[in-house]
A and B are shown apart, each in its own frame.
Chain A
Amino acid sequence: MELVASLIVVPVVAALLLLAIKNDRARDVIAIAFAALIALLSIAFAVVFAGPGTYEFALPAEWGHPLSLVNLAIDLTVAIFVVCYAVRYKRPLALGLAALQIVVALWFEFAVQAGAEFSTTMRVDALGVVMVLIIGIVGSGICVYALGYMKDFQAHELHGNPQARDRRPWFFAIMFAFLSAMFNIVLVDNMAWMYTAWEVTTLCSFLLIGFTKSEEAINNAFRQIVMNLLGGVAFQFSLVYLGVFGLPLSFSTFVEIGSAFPALVMLPVTLLAFAGITKAAQMPFHTWLLGAMVAPTPTSALLHSSTMVKAGVFLLVKLSPIFAVSLVPSVMVVLVGGLTFALCSFMAISQSNAKRVLAYSTIANLGLITACAGVGTPEAVWAAILLIIFHAVAKSLLFLCVGTAEHHIGSRNIEDMDLLFERMPRLARFMMLGIMCMFVAPFGMLIAKWATLVSFVETGNVALIILLAFGSAATFMFWAKWLGKLSGIAGEPQNVELTVHKSEWAALLLMAGLVCVTCVLLPVMSSGLVVPYVQTAFRYGGQDISDGNLWIAAICAVLVILMLFAGLGRSSKQKRVDVYLAGASADNAARTFRGSLSAPVEATSRNLYLDGIFGEARIAPVGSGVCIVIMVAAIAWAAAVLPSML
């Protein structure tokens, strides 16, 4: 219990301290100390609670009432915060949704739930352990990275506007508060409490996205909040449903009831799934995650890898035992997830902005996790959890790399990352590691995709198999061409990575180390963390890939890592020669050749973006339209069967 409580409280303390501190040095020390503390706490937590079975803790019963008031207070504060912002920037839609939430929250608390006991149960299972590890280690690693990044960021701000206020205390406070909210989501059993934490994450990401206060940032922040408030309203309605029907607000009981009597909870499950889909940025809500790219890079890394979107898929994975038996929500989640995976992978091909490519890839992978959760078999859930783990570590590594590269080469365009292998040799290798981890065997993401494919085949889900096959092919395309750009070697290297902050290196090393460790120890992780959860949730374990094959993959992963860090770029006895420029090179290192009239011309090449086939303008409207139809139909269906229940 102490561990659980400290996981939730420590980040809050850190946030408050950081809010008060204005001094750079002090902020560094405190942030690093707290990040380390949170990481250690989550490791200790994992050591204590890993393995099969669930642990429940509850505070003494008399704490229930005050906590319920605290809960309501936080809930209302969040909504009022949004209302204030909406009024200030004249956004009626956000205002309306927030006002609706306030009304429903008050009505729910004082009319529906009046007198009901507020449960303080914390419930820990293996999935919770996985999530705590991700949030605690990856999340706090990103906070450490942000220290160095934000120094450069602030310097840049001051350069543009000498009067710019230093708003970094605010930034770091939100980052740590975010972690606390995430710990709440993954550990509590009380759905009302979970809902509050859910809304806190929405607000935190709103504030982080709008951090720069540029017009674009404000617009994107409001897009985010409107979409996620929609999800929040859906979450709230399912709470109301449970309250009205006198069902307990305990998540574990809810899942048990749901798997036994799917018809009884069809509407709330569909609504919760909808909430999960909004938070996991599935189509048509993917635009908020794309818009979130205007924020400083640590924000993007946090939103994409360890928090926010992971809350969405966490909820869906938790609900998967119900999806296994309940057709309507399952079909909705599976189709939306599958379509999002394929279409967003397609659209990623047409992007040259590194952060947008990463965003599309995140959305696509979340789609895959969503689809797995929707399939709801133990094997699919096994794959989903592995996807969550590997996506978190690889994507955070990639975001941090892109952030550092951006500050040192002055661009986030992939075309400008030409020759990065020479200009920033260590960073480029980290980036390559991250990219390879995202899409190619023997690394984790692909192993998880493999399991996904097998579980789709076993359930005979033809549509998903086809979507996965085509989506994966597109994935290969957009990662491979990026990898290619990075790998280029020519001319005199001018190393520009010497000025990277130590804290950035520390975080990058941590993430790269995590990628290596998780990929190589995949079989151990599977039997120690993932299979136990699947066994607890489904009463029988499922793992589609034999341990022998996992070990073969692990050995291959070691080989690739060796290649990246020991094999490449070594000087050998080989003779160095120039590249072939049809015998007409003017300056071979600069890739210039003698053109017509003997004038030097530079040979340039751009990657293929295939905009005519995979452009956003072609694909996004179709995908969003279809997904909207699917979701409206599913919710309408679930609502239509409601009267027969009454």
Chain B
Amino acid sequence: MTIIVTVIGIIAFAIAGPIIGCLLAGLDRIISARMQGRVGPPLLQPYYDVRKLFSKENASVNTSEHAYILFAFIFTLVAGGVFFSGGNLLLSVFLVTLSSLLFIVAAYSSRSPYSEVGAARETLQAMAYEPMLYLMCVAFFMASGWFDVAGVFFLDAPAITTAWLAFLGFLFVLTIKLRKSPFDISMSHHAHQEIVRGVTTEMSGPTLGLVEVMHWCENVLFMGWVAMFFIWSNPLSIVLAVVVVLAVYFLEIWIDNNFARVKWQLMLKSAWAVALVAGGLNVAVLAYL
């Protein structure tokens, strides 16, 4: 039964995820441009980019890179499917981790110095955000009583009422997960980075297109994690959740445009400190009070 529901969820997410993610990415670029006093590209620009990438020559530095990316993409879809079909939150977090691992290994496999440095930094980023993610899941469970996301529709009050501290901590690491400045150390969306494009330096054409689509889907999934904190048995709460998601997304863009990149030391220490304080405190309060 779980499997059938999940498969339906995966199919739905495979269709809706890229569409919503693409629009979100387009919105991101327009808003960023406006913040910089520019007009910015059309809303569908990310779509054009990806269509172009898929039409380019198919080339790769080795025989494995494309396979790693393909499977990373598949596992992102599975993670999204699990989450949006109301499945287990932890399972979806673990599958996203698997997907980011394959992404990292794809970069390592190219053996390009720039990719390798990018991959090493991406590994560090994963280590930085992971504790907070786990604690966010635990806090969500303690606040709602469910690891299954579908459980939120039976709540009398949304999880945010008791897990707000962990939610704030999650927002902090979300910046790392979205690879926004000040934490875009493994790969930047902007040119002239010291490690070229970091992780994706050697990925080109269709492979890069797949990476882009994967990031759209990931972003939608992360926004889903944000939304689940604001939903309860009242159907109108979905509207609230959408509003909150948009606000959070705007906040991330604002942070991206207003902060200079930090060194990894600061990223690791601050993310772990946030996890310990926000996550740990919230979990402790929920466990003992």
Contacts and interface: CB of A to CB of B under 8 A. Distances in A.
On whether A and B touch (CB less than 8 Å), the answer reads yes
Nearest to B128: A473
B130 A441 contact: no
B59 A574 contact: yes
B95 A568 contact: no
Interface stretch (B181-189, B245-253, B272-280): B272-280
B123 A481 contact: yes
A488 B64 CA distance: 10
Contact of A477 (B57, B110, B126): B126
B169 to A, nearest CB: 11
A476 B95 contact: no
A485 B108 contact: yes
A575 B112 CA distance: 17
A462 interface: yes
Interface stretch (A180-188, A263-271, A450-458): A450-458
A607 interface: yes
B135 A442 contact: no
Interface in A547-574: 547-549, 551-553, 555-556, 559-560, 563, 567-574
Interface string A466-479: 10111011101100
A289 to B, nearest CB: 24
A509 B88 CA distance: 34
Contact of B114 (A460, A547, A580): A580
A605 B119 CA distance: 11
Contact of A457 (B1, B82, B128, B138): B138
Interface in B7-60: 57-60
Interface in A466-511: 466, 468-470, 472-474, 476-477, 480-481, 483-485, 487-490
A636 interface: no
A457 B126 contact: no
Contact of B61 (A567, A579, A604): A579
Interface in A528-561: 545-549, 551-553, 555-556, 559-560
B68 interface: yes
B126 A489 contact: no
B116 A484 contact: yes
Given A469-B130, A549-B88, A488 B284 contact: no
Nearest to A604: B113
A581 B127 contact: no
Given A466-B283, A552-B82, A568-B68, A472 B134 contact: yes
A487 B109 contact: yes
B224 interface: no
B168 interface: no
Interface string B90-103: 11001101100100
A538 B277 CA distance: 36
B113 A603 contact: yes
B218 interface: no
Interface stretch (B70-78, B235-243, B254-262): B70-78
Given A465-B135, A551-B3, A579-B61, A572 B120 contact: no
Nearest to B197: A580
A463 B91 CA distance: 22
Contacts of B147: 454
B95 A442 contact: yes
Given A469-B131, A490-B62, A477 B287 contact: no
A242 B264 CA distance: 56
A379 to B, nearest CB: 13
A118 B63 CA distance: 65
A23 B113 CA distance: 51
A549 B87 contact: yes
Contacts of B141: 457
Contacts of A559: 71, 74-75
Nearest to B90: A450
B244 interface: no
B90 A552 contact: no
Nearest to B88: A549
B60 A466 contact: no
Contacts of A626: none
22 contacts: A442-B94, A446-B94, A460-B287, A462-B287, A472-B131, A472-B134, A474-B127, A476-B123, A480-B123, A484-B105, A484-B108, A485-B108, A490-B62, A549-B88, A559-B74, A567-B67, A580-B114, A581-B112, A591-B113, A605-B116, A605-B117, A613-B268
Interface of A: 419, 421, 436, 440-442, 446, 450, 453-454, 457, 460-462, 465-466, 468-470, 472-474, 476-477, 480-481, 483-485, 487-490, 545-549, 551-553, 555-556, 559-560, 563, 567-582, 591, 603-605, 607-608, 613
